[in-house]
Amino acid sequence: MFYATGMRKAELIGLKVSDVDLSSKVIKVLGKRNKERIIPLMGDMVTSIVGYLKKRNELNVGNEIDSLFLTKSGTKIYDSLVYRVINLYFSTASSKLKKSPHVLRHTFATHLLNEGADLNAVKELLGHTSLAATQVYTHNSMAKLKEVYGSSRPRNQQN
């Protein structure tokens, strides 16, 4: 969910079942300073949410808890649990030292920019109020641009 949407850890923890609109394939996120934004959900994410909701319903928590993500015992997920889960998965897949949910948000933004997404669109998806906050993610994109430029220039190919 982090990588597919670019949301913050607090936003993920705060999601409610009612925030998910599977028919429109969007999720409503309450961000910093109670700023609301709508994030589109792509095919695989919709399928994952549908599967998760089926499992969630097996917990028999009823309508008492509107939180989207719950622990095995049916309580709302919490900050350190999310951090531990992300750390566990990162540890099996990467030797990077920094293993936090924010790394996935950063990766989300960087991958969008590397694939040619508009900086303003990425700004909106991330829920940033200023473009300057989003420009932090362009340094990796610049490296990619320089690599493509360097390998594509005709004069560079002669050397």
Q: Which residues are catalytic?
A: 8, 32, 102, 105, 128, 137
Nearest residue to 66 via CA among 19, 2, 28, 7: 19
String of DSSP letters for 119-158: HHHHHHHHT-SSHHHHGGGHHHHHHHHHHHHHHH-HHHHH
Task: Provide the sign of the torsion angle of the four alpha carbons 82, 83, 88, 92, taken in this order.
Answer: positive
- Calpha distance 29→15 (Å, rounded): 7
- Calpha distance 90→49 (Å, rounded): 21
